Each structure stands twice: as C-alpha cells, then as structure tokens.
C-alpha cells in the first residue's frame, strides 16, 4: 500500500501533505502534553518495535506471505495519537531507507497508513468494546474487527487518491485495492488478536496504559 512517486498528481500531493503535517503536529502536541519528555524515547523505541515486527512474515495463501502493518496494534495498545506518531516515523524511515513509498507520496502514505488506519482501528475497537463488553473474547473480536477495518479503510483511501490522480480508473482500482486488502486484513486481524491475547495473558497491565 506504499504509494511510490509518479502515481499522484500535484493537487493530491499538496492536499495530503497539508493534512498529514497538521495531523502529525497535533499528535506531537497531544503526546507532549500527556507524556512530557518521556514521549521521545518511548515513541522512538516503539516505532523501532513496529519496524522490527514487520520483519516477521506469516503464510497467507498459495505460497505468498504477509506481514503486520501495525497501525491497529499501536492504536489499540497506546491510543490513536501515539499511533500516528509511531506509524509516521516508521513510514518516513521506510521511504528514506528502503524507498518503500515515495518522497512526494509520503504525505499520502502517512494520511492512509498513519492517520486513517490508526483512528479507524481505535474507534472500531472502542465501539466493539462498548457493544460486546470487556470480556476476553469480546476484546479479541473487537481487536480483529479493528485491524481488519483499518487495513480496508486505508486501502480505500489509497485507491481514492490514485483514482483522483488519474493513475488508475475508479472501476478498477477501488475493487482491486479493497478486494486484495480485505484478504490482507484477515491476516492483520489474526496476528493482532494473537498479539493482544498474549499481552492480556502475560502483562494485562499494559492493556490499560493511558491512551494518547
């Protein structure tokens, strides 16, 4: 889902950059108010965690493998604004180290995978919790739905940006991206639920951290 340079037109680049810069600036401000100087080492180490976790592949189907995106995990464990900071750091590093995602497309990538994915995951999780209650099973269903929904919504945002830029017709890119990521989202949901169930079993206190 990392858009390279060359696919987006200038209007899309400018508008997504504006939203992302504003979003990240607001996230930094909120984290600073709640965490103080602790935010720097904590967010840095947790961004490195997401980066390292993405190296673990799991089998998907037909010999292909996928890996975690991590926005939902970060949003559920630490809150949406913290997840925005962490995922933005991961995306900047991926663009600068691996050329995974372009430099002009960075604004769009942060918008999709840091802002949309984190907030959708967080609110789907909260909604599921209020519907299903705080039991272990209800929580895991909420985690699965949140991860799946965050991947799907991020991919739809990505498809909309590509279609607006004229890089691909609406009728193709929307069903293609949404279809592929509805499958990828299942993997994301299963892995994130497995992670949360381990954290619940061993360090349940980490599930009740202050959400930022």
Q: Which of residues 32-61 bind another protein (CB under 8 A)?
A: 32, 36-49, 51-53, 55-59
Q: Measure the CA–CA gap between 56 and 107, rounded to whole angstroms.
A: 26
Tokens standing for residue 161: 């940006």
Minimum distance of another protein from residue 18's CB (angstroms):
15
Name the H helices within 36-135.
39-53, 71-78, 80-98, 106-109, 117-132
Torsion (CA) 173, 84, 206, 135 in degrees, nearest 10: -40
What residues from 108 to 167 belong to the interface with another protein (CB under 8 A)? 162, 166-167
Are 168 and 162 in contact by the 8 Å Cβ rule? The answer is yes
Closest CB 97 distance from another protein, rounded Å = 6
Query: Based on CB atoms, which residue is closest to another protein, 127 or 186?
Result: 186
Least CB distance to another protein at residue 125 (A): 16
Burial class (CB in 10 A: 0-12, 13-18, 19+), 210: exposed
**Residue 119: CB minimum distance to another protein, A:** 19
Q: Can you tell me which residue has the tokens 């939203």?
A: 19
Q: Which window, 111-119, 120-128, 132-140, 193-201, contacts another protein (CB under 8 A)?
A: 193-201
Minimum CB–partner distance for residue 136 and another protein (Å): 15
Residues in the interface with another protein (CB under 8 A) total 79
User: Does residue 195 interact with another protein by CB under 8 A?
Assistant: yes
SS3 category, 105: coil
Residue 194 interacts with another protein (CB under 8 A): yes or no: yes
Decide: is 98 part of the binding site for another protein (CB under 8 A): yes
């Amino acid at each position: 889902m990392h858009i390279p340079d060359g696919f987006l037109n200038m209007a899309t680049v400018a508008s997504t950059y504006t939203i992302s810069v504003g979003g990240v600036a607001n996230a930094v401000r909120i984290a600073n108010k709640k965490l103080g100087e602790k935010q720097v080492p904590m967010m840095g180490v947790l961004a490195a965690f997401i980066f390292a976790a993405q190296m673990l592949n799991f089998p998907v189907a037909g010999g292909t493998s996928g890996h975690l995106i991590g926005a939902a995990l970060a949003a559920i464990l630490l809150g949406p604004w913290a997840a925005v900071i962490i995922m933005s750091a991961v995306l900047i590093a991926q663009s600068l180290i691996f050329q995974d995602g372009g430099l002009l497309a960075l604004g769009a990538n942060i918008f999709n995978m840091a802002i949309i994915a984190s907030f959708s995951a967080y609110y789907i999780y909260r909604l599921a919790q209020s519907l299903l209650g705080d039991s272990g099973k209800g929580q895991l269903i909420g985690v699965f739905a949140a991860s799946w929904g965050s991947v799907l919504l991020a991919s739809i945002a990505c498809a909309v940006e590509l279609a607006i830029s004229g890089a691909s017709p609406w009728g193709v890119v929307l069903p293609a991206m949404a279809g592929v990521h509805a499958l990828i989202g299942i993997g994301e949901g299963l892995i994130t639920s497995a992670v949360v169930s381990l954290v619940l079993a061993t360090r349940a206190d980490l599930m009740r951290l202050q959400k930022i």
